[in-house]
Each structure stands twice: as C-alpha cells, then as structure tokens.
Copies of this chain bind each other. A is one copy, B any other.
Amino acid sequence: MDSGLVMVDTHILESTRIPLDEAIGMRWSPKGFLDIPVEPEKLRSLFEAARWSPSSRNEQPWRFIVETKSHPEGYERLFSTLTESNKSWACQAPLLIAGFAKKHFDRDNMPNRTAMYDTGGAVANLTVQAVSLGLQVHQMGGYDMRLLKELYNVPEEFEPAAILAVGYADEGGRSSRVRLRRELNTMVYEGVWGRASELLHSKL
C-alpha cells in the first residue's frame, strides 16, 4: 500500500468513525445510473446551490452547459466530447453538465487566480445538493476540450473545468473496491510544512 493512503470500506460513514454531514458521507462517483430522468425542480436546485457558492470578489466565475436525454440532439452533442472509456458508462446518465471558469475578472479584466478554484467549490456545492436530493454526480476530466469549445462556441475567456454525469445511481452495480484516500496526517500540517498537526490527535 502506498504511504499516505488508507484502505477503507466503500461506505465511509461507517468506516471512518468520524461523523460527516450525510451529503458528504454518502457521495460517491457511480459508473451506473438508473433509467430515471432528473426532475426539473431538482435540476434547478443543483444550479441554485452552485449559485450561492462564495468566490473571490464575488466574481462567480462559473458557467454551465446542461444537456438532458429529453433533448436527445443536445445530449448527443455534449456526450460526443467524452473519451470512449467515459462514454461506455456515462451513456446511462440522464443528465450531463459541463463546467467552465472565466479566466479574468469582469470588473477590471485582471487574471483571476482562483477562477478554477472557485468553480471547483461551486461544483462541490452542486454535488452536495445532488446527494441531498438522492442523486449522485460523477465528474470527468476525460473529454475533448477543443471539440467541446468548438461545438458550443465557447469564448476563449472560458476554461473547461469538468464534465459531470448526474442521475440516480445504480446502487446495485456499485463496485466493492475499497476507496483510497491519504491519511489526515499527510495532508494537514501545523507550524511548518509537512509536520502533522497535533490537533488531529488531541483528546476528544
């Protein structure tokens, strides 16, 4: 086993013994979805959750393209940008969302150093909202960025961040593979870089 990684059960709420918000603890990245559309009111609330994310200078650099199977031509357009390996499972998702980050501030056109960072936060909030509504989100980095920008006429100013497959997960098809994560003491430091924080070990 690699140093810094810990083997855990797939059901992390039970395995970590550290209580987590349910929408955090129940999140996973399914490769199978049920053949059920996402209700419009749920879809709206996903974006509403993203909308209320914090961002540097309240820039809200995130933008989204959404396509559903109920509009097959549009769905196929976004789907066509995925790698073959992602296509093989993402075809089950009733909903695809592409996320983008605006590279410069509206106000003064200065580079926005945290545009991707803030967009990642907005998508995480969207994901929390999804899980809270019984949905799951699987983020993908494997897609043709050039094709995506071309098909949707995306301005140069906007950087693709990820494509999300969204839907009701096929829990039955869930892999039993353990999920690997770094140990906390390899990611949380105190006093100086690389020294594990004592706070992680102080008495409960």
Contacts and interface: CB of A to CB of B under 8 A. Distances in A.
Contacts of A40: 199, 202-204
Contacts of A119: 117, 120
Contact of A114 (B24, B141, B181): B141
B123 A60 contact: no
B120 A116 contact: yes
Nearest to A181: B51
A44 to B, nearest CB: 6
Nearest to A138: B54
A: contact size bracket: 35 or more
Nearest to A6: B51
A162 B116 CA distance: 12
Given A21-B128, A152-B189, A152-B193, 11 more contacts: A18-B48, A24-B125, A27-B54, A66-B188, A66-B199, A114-B120, A117-B119, A117-B161, A128-B128, A152-B192, A158-B193
Given A124-B121, A180-B58, A187-B60, A52 B202 contact: no
A174 to B, nearest CB: 15
A67 B190 contact: yes
A12 to B, nearest CB: 6
Nearest to A62: B187
A41 B155 CA distance: 46
11 contacts: A18-B45, A21-B49, A24-B125, A25-B52, A64-B189, A65-B188, A68-B199, A114-B161, A116-B120, A117-B161, A117-B162
A197 interface: yes
Contacts of A152: 189, 192-193
Contact of A23 (B21, B141, B161): B21
Nearest to A184: B47
Contacts of A68: 199
List the 10 shortest-distance A-B pairs measured between CB atoms, nearest first. Answer: A120-B120, A124-B124, A117-B120, A21-B132, A121-B124, A120-B121, A116-B117, A18-B48, A116-B116, A56-B141
